Amino acid sequence: MIGGPYEGLIATKPMPEKINESLHCEEGKSSLKEWKGVRLCKKIKNQLVEYNSLPSYLRDNEYILGYYRSEWPLKHTILSVFSIHNETLNVWTHLIGFFLFLFLTIYTAMKAPTVVDFNSLQHLPKMIGTADLNKIRLHLLNCLPSLPNMPDLLNFKNELSTSLYSLDFSSLPSWNVVELLTNCLPEQLSINVVKDDMVDILSPSAVQPITRWPFFVFLGGAMFCLLASSTCHLLACHSQSLSYIMLRFDYAGISALIATSFYPPVYYSFMCNPFFCFLYLGFITLIGTATIAFSLLPFFQKPWFRKYRASLFFLMGFSGVVPIIHKLILHKDRPEALQTTGYEILMGILYGLGAVIYATRIPERWMPGKFDIAGHSHQLFHVLVVAGAYTHYQDGLVYLKWRDMKGC
C-alpha cells in the first residue's frame, strides 16, 4: 500500500468497469448531473495509480510501487511537469541539465577568442604613427604591478620596459594576453581606438583560436540527449504508441551523447595526425549511428534487455580508452594530456557508476516503494549523467586552451 502525503491522490485499485461505463467523458453536457459526472471522470482519469494497475508497456520497474501516471490525456500529461509523481525528478534532473548546457553553449560561443583580423595589420604604419607608444608603455607598466606575481608576467614586464616591438607573447597563454590587455588598458587610456589597435597589433602571435566545431558537436549531443530524455519521461505514459516513439528518442539521445563525447578529445588530441583523427572519429560515428539504428528495434526497449542495453552503452563509452592511451603516448611531454586524462577518468567513473545503478536498480530493489518519488536509481543515473557531461565540458576547455596556445 502507498502511504504518506499523497495517499488521497492515489487510486489503489483500477476503476471498476461498471463505474467507468456509467461516466460519459464527453464535453457539452447540459445537465448539472452530467456536468458533475464529466468532472469526476476527469479527476479519476488523472489519478496516480499503482504498479499493478499499469498496462504492460508501462511496467518497467517493479520496485517502484506507486505514483504512476497512466494513459492521461496529452494536455494533462504535459502539465504534469509541474505536479508530483514518480517521474517528476526524472523530468527535472535532465531539463535543468539541458538548460545548463544551453547556457554553457552560449557562454562558450561568446567567450571564445575572436579570430585575428590580419587585414588590420595593413594599417600598422599609420596606427604606430598616431599612437603614443611611450604613453602606452608607461600605462602598461603602471597597470601590471597590480596583477599576480607570475613568472610569465615578470618576463612580460621586463620586456615591456625595453621595447614594445620586441615583445614575445608566445610564452603566455593567449587568452591571458588578450584579457590582460583588454582589462588593463580601458581605464588607463582615454582613446578606445588605441586600445583596439594595441590588441590587434599584439595578438597575432598569440591568438590563433582553433576551430570549435568538435566542441559544439559535443554540446549539441549533450543538449539533444538531455532534452530527449526529459521529454520521454514526461510523455511516455500517455499512450503505447507515444511511449515507443519517446523511448527511441531517449536511447538515441544516450547514443548521441556518448558518440559526440569522443569528438573534442579525439579531434584536439590528433588534429596533427589526420589518419588517427579520422580513424577514431569515423569509428565512433559508425558505432554511434549503428547504436541509434539498433535502438529503433522493438526488442531494444524490452525490460529483459535492460542489462544488455546498459552493457552496450557502457562498452561504447569504454572504447574511448584506446584514443586516451594513444594520446598519453603521443603527448607524454604535455601537462594538458595528463590533465585531460584526469577529467576523462572522472567522467568514466561517473558514467560507469550511472550505468551500474541503472542496470541494478539500486536502491529501490532493497526497499520497494520507499523511493518512488525521490531517490530511485533512474534519478541517480540522471544526476550522474549530467555530472559526467559537465566534467567532459571542463575537459574540452582544457583542450581548447592547449590548442589555442600551441596550435598543431
Annotated binding site: 233, 378, 382
Distance CA 400, CA 397 (A): 5
Give the binding-site size for Zn ion (rule: CB under 5 A).
1
End-to-end CA distance of the chain: 64
Q: Which x/- pattern over 128-157 shows residues binding Zn ion (rule: CB under 5 A)?
A: ------------------------------
Q: Which helix (H) or strand (E) holds 218?
A: helix 213-235
What the block records as the C-alpha cell of 135 is 604613453
- Dihedral sign from CA coordinates of 390, 260, 228, 233: negative
| Interatomic CA distance for residues 314 and 308, integer angstroms | 9
Closest CB 300 distance from Zn ion, rounded Å? 15
Binding of Zn ion at residue 243 (CB under 5 A)? no
What are the grid coordinates assigned to 29, written together?
453536457
Of 229 and 239, which has the nearer Cβ to Zn ion?
229
Comparing CB distances to Zn ion, the nearer of 70 and 229 is: 229
Distance separating alpha carbons of residues 225 and 251, to the nearest angstrom: 8
| Helices (H) then strands (E): counts for the chain | 17, 2
Could you say whether residue 229 binds Zn ion (CB under 5 A)?
A: yes
Structural contact between residues 323 and 265, judged by C-beta atoms closer than 8 angstroms: yes
Burial of 271: CB neighbours in 10 Å, binned 0-12, 13-18, 19+: middle
Residue (61 or 229) nearer to Zn ion, CB: 229
Nearer to Zn ion, 23 or 89 (CB): 89
* Residue 295 binds Zn ion, judged by CB under 5 A: no
Question: What is the C-alpha separation between 154 and 157, in angstroms, rounded?
Answer: 5
Q: CB of residue 230 vs Zn ion: minimum separation in angstroms?
A: 8
Q: Is residue 260 near Zn ion by the rule CB under 5 A?
A: no
Among the candidate windows 61-69, 141-149, 227-235, 363-371, which touches Zn ion by CB under 5 A?
Answer: 227-235
Q: What minimum distance in Å lies between the beta carbon of 299 and Zn ion?
A: 19
Beta strand spans in 33-172 (E): 48-49
Cell of 57: 508497456
Shortest distance, position 205 Cβ to Zn ion, whole Å = 48
Q: Which stretch binds Zn ion (CB under 5 A): 36-44, 222-230, 261-269, 347-355?
A: 222-230
By beta-carbon proximity to Zn ion, the closer residue of 200 and 250 is: 250
Distances (CA, A) of 208 to 120, 205, 283, 402: 15, 8, 29, 11
Candidates 106-114, 229-237, 285-293, 356-364; binding stretch for Zn ion (CB under 5 A): 229-237
List, as residue ranges, the binding site for Zn(2+).
233, 378, 382
Binding letters toward Zn ion, positions 60-99, x by CB under 5 A: ----------------------------------------
Q: Which stretch binds Zn ion (CB under 5 A): 18-26, 42-50, 131-139, 226-234?
A: 226-234
- For the CB of residue 384, give the shortest distance to Zn ion in the complex, in Å: 11
* Per-residue binding letters, 177-216, with Zn ion (x by CB under 5 A): ----------------------------------------
Least CB distance from residue 383 to Zn ion, whole Å? 11
Give burial (CB, 10 Å; 0-12/13-18/19+) of 326: middle
| 3 state SS of 48 | strand
Name 225's Cβ contacts closer than 8 Å, sequence gap at least 6: 253, 254, 256, 257, 385, 389
Among all residues, whose Cβ is closest to Zn ion?
229
Q: What's the closest the beta carbon of residue 90 comes to Zn ion, in angstroms?
A: 6
Closest contact distance (angstroms) between CB of 378 and Zn ion is 5
Residues that bind Zn ion (CB under 5 A): 229
